[in-house]
Amino acid sequence: MNPGLQSQEIGSLRKPRWLVKTLKDKHTSEEEKEKARKDAAFLNLVLLEKAGLDIVYDGEARRVEMYEYSAKRIKGMVFSGRVRSWDAKYYRKARCVDKVGYTGNYHLDEFNFVKDRATRMIKVPITGAYTIADWSYNEAYTTKRELALDLASKVLRPLVRDLVEAGAEFIQIDEPAATTHPHEMKLVVDSFNETVREVPGVKFGIHICYSGNNYEALFPEVLNMKNHQYALEFANRDSWELGRDKDVRIGYKALDMFGRQNENKEIGLGVVDVHVDRVESPQLIRDRVLYAVDVMGDPSLIHVNPDCGLRTRSREIAFFKLSNLVTGVQLAKTELGLL
Amino acid sequence: MAKGWISGIYPRSERLIEATRRQDPKLEKLFEEEKRKIIRQQSDAGLDFITDPLIDWDDILRPFTENLSGVEIGPLDRFYENNTFYRRPLVLSEVKSRGHILSNAISNTLFPKRKLWKVDLLDPYSMADLSDNRYYRSKEELMFAYAKVLAKELRALPSNPSLIQFNAPSLARTKDKDNISQAKEAIRIATRRITATKCLHLYFGDISSTLPQFLDFGVDILGIDFVNSKLQSFQGTTFTKGLACGCVDAQNTRIERPSEIVAFVTRAVNILNPKSVSVLPNTDLEFIPQPFATKKVRAIGKAVRELGDEGI
């Protein structure tokens, strides 16, 4: 029985400065670097549990970046250099130069580490096939569709299976590119479904963020997606005023579309803006949650999370934001008589 | 004879990426050194029009966003369907320029003396479409305000470019006849009293259904992005302009062989029968790392020479 209104993390936390320094140090052995990664993963886990979240992971302490970490471990991909994201911010982009292949469970170590230490439920975030295809140069396949579906069936599905075999019960497939090309929505859905095909008994979420705030583009194709949860960003577009009316909760307008579908799928409700230091009050979180419960008509369909990973904020700010998120959820539960 | 050139922002080298990331105090000097190198590469590849690689522009609108009066720098926004973002211009009052933005933002003194050179700009419609208009009554009004600004900027250039290329991604994506018709007027305003050859490059969209409407624009050359528009769909079109054939994919690292480019351009000439033909990437090369961009520049140069040998 899903109790609803569970609080969950979405992805990465900012890496501690000492970790970055250690990883960049050419004189530090790989063994020492691995120890440092484990220390950071443990600290992240403690931070998330201390904040009071119901569903946790390791803040992606071992991953350089969500795309690069995965692409580096996929057969057929080689890195080409950096391209601009904006201003002086760049990311490394891979070329797909041969048919893609699975090289082994590249999240196994981090998963086992978290599993052995977490006292809360675990959710494993993995980067989805569509986003990897969209963010890579395709030199090996005739079409992007072929590349994305091969990534889904030959890389992501084996990865998911191996994670499930290791004990994963909840997997979040990150697809930040999902709505970048509205006309490719069928491919987003098909690649997701190929990834989760014939993997029973596991909860699958999809996380979509900063894709131009264009959730309209998801419909109607997304209704065919075999996911259990949509984890979405909303808070960055919302007002900071307290209140549960439509004209106050302007950032949550798109929620209506999900409410109308009666899909019985959960919403991972983004209630914390990850791009500002200002910390949302528990009362603001409460009002955002209660507004969403009203739209969806059932608290068991609402789970609560930040808009995206909090790596853009200091660890201190991230902790305060998450702590207030948890307190706000408690306030909402109290009003709904769920406590 | 076929001609060749590149457009828009060129990728920075790894060295320059690092320098911009750490805000190197020698950044200005490094930009100039790298511009000289890229300009030399264009010249060595045999390109017919040399262009400023604009590696010191943080996005294709930024010199205007930072320097136009009436405009402030807004939040990051996705640049069309790319994993690349730009700062949205916030238009808060009447848009005005003193006419020195472009001349300050282009290093035309670095161009080889005997080479023809070109200027790249977004067209007024795309500029308005990418802005957050909080002052003018409509996007069209803002577009005309931008057109007047561009006219002033182009006339204020200290020496004359031989080619002015308006890059028009938003225009390539619209299917609205009224929008296209008004954009035509905006181009007319922007190019008033300009004698250089004018090119309107339509990229990031499939223009197979809208091409006829662009044929009476006051430009000499129309650029088509053949990555997004299928050549075959133009079969039977009466094409009355010069063709800028955007058949080199600026968003993929696969390097086109010169013979492939030649074959494509030959087919395009057979189908469209343009007044002239030139070869260029479908969009700015900044979407691929610099070593790949350099190879594409060389491939364009070789293809243009081969086309010349074949009498195209």
pLDDT band at residue A213 using 50, 70 and 90 as cut-offs: low
Record: contact A85-B11, CB cut-off 8 A: no
Between CA A299 and CA B28 the distance in angstroms is 57
Between CA A119 and CA A121 the distance in angstroms is 7
Cβ–Cβ pairs < 8 A, chains A and B:
64
Q: In the prediction, which pLDDT does A3 show?
A: 72
Q: How many domains does chain B have?
A: 1
Q: Is B287 on the interface with A (CB under 8 A)?
A: yes
Record: contact B81-A181, CB cut-off 8 A: yes
Q: Report the candidate in B47, B187, B206 with the shortest Cα–Cα distance to residue B121.
A: B187
Q: In the prediction, which pLDDT does B45 show?
A: 97
CB-CB neighbours of B261 under 10 Å = 24
Considering only alpha carbons, which residue of chain A is nearest residue B57?
A: A87
Considering only alpha carbons, which residue of chain B is nearest residue A181?
A: B81
Record: contact A88-B58, CB cut-off 8 A: yes
- What distance in Å separates residue A140's CA from the closest CA in chain B? 9
Q: Is A275 on the interface with B (CB under 8 A)?
A: no
Q: In the prediction, which pLDDT does B1 show?
A: 87
Rounded percentage of chain A residues whose pLDDT exceeds 90: 90
**Which one of B85, B87, B288 has the shortest CB-CB distance to A85?**
B85
Residue A2 has pLDDT above 90, yes or no: no
CATH of the domain at B299: 3.20.20.210
Residue A209 has pLDDT above 90, yes or no: no
Every domain of chain A and the residues it spans:
17-336
Q: Average pLDDT of A195-203?
A: 95
Residue A211 has pLDDT above 70, yes or no: no
> Residue B112 belongs to what domain range?
3-59+99-126+155-309
Grouping H, G, I as helix, E, B as strand and the rest as coil, residue B47 is coil
Question: Torsions phi, psi of A97, nearest 5?
Answer: -105, -5
Between CA B165 and CA B150 the distance in angstroms is 12
Query: Tokens 């050549």 label which residue?
Result: B231
Domain membership of residue B83 (yes or no) is no
Quote the mean pLDDT of chain A: 95
Record: contact B58-A87, CB cut-off 8 A: yes
Q: Is B252 on the interface with A (CB under 8 A)?
A: yes
Q: What is the pLDDT of residues A99-129, one digit of tens each?
A: 999 999 999 999 999 999 999 999 999 999 9
Q: In the prediction, which pLDDT does A262 show?
A: 80
Between CA A308 and CA A233 the distance in angstroms is 7
Q: Report the candidate in A269, A276, A317, A318 with the shortest Cα–Cα distance to residue A295.
A: A269
Taking each continuous run of H as one helix and of E as one strand, the counts in chain B are 11, 11
Mutation for testing the B interface, residue in A78, A79, A87 having most B CBs under 10 Å: A87
Domain membership of residue B87 (yes or no) is no
Between CA B106 and CA B110 the distance in angstroms is 9
- The architecture in CATH of the region A17-336 reads Alpha-Beta Barrel (3.20)
- What distance in Å separates residue A1's CA from the closest CA in chain B? 40
Q: Which residues of chain B have pLDDT under 70?
A: none
| Whole-Å CA distances, A217 to A147, A176, B169, B283 | 22, 13, 20, 25
Between CA A270 and CA A289 the distance in angstroms is 9
Supply the ipTM of this predicted assembly: 0.92
Query: B90: part of which helix (H) or strand (E)?
Result: strand B85-96
Q: Is B56 on the interface with A (CB under 8 A)?
A: no
Q: Report the candidate in B62, B48, B65 with the shortest Cα–Cα distance to residue B8.
A: B62
pLDDT band at residue A1 using 50, 70 and 90 as cut-offs: low
Chain A hits for B78, Cβ within 8 Å = 180, 211-212
User: Chain A, 36-95: which have a CB under 8 Å from a chain B CB?
Assistant: 80-88, 90-91, 93, 95
Domain membership of residue B65 (yes or no) is no
Instruction: Assess contact for B286 and B11: CB atoms under 8 A.
Output: yes
Domain membership of residue B204 (yes or no) is yes
Chain A hits for B14, Cβ within 8 Å = 81-82
Rounded percentage of chain B residues whose pLDDT exceeds 70: 100
Q: Report the candidate in A46, A44, A52, A12 with the shortest Cα–Cα distance to residue A282.
A: A52
pLDDT band at residue A33 using 50, 70 and 90 as cut-offs: very high
pTM of the entire predicted model? 0.93
Residue A55 has pLDDT above 80, yes or no: yes
Chain B hits for A135, Cβ within 8 Å = 83
Q: Is A287 on the interface with B (CB under 8 A)?
A: no
| Whole-Å CA distances, A82 to A242, A257, B11, B261, B290 | 43, 37, 9, 26, 9
Domain membership of residue B262 (yes or no) is yes
Between CA A222 and CA A135 the distance in angstroms is 21
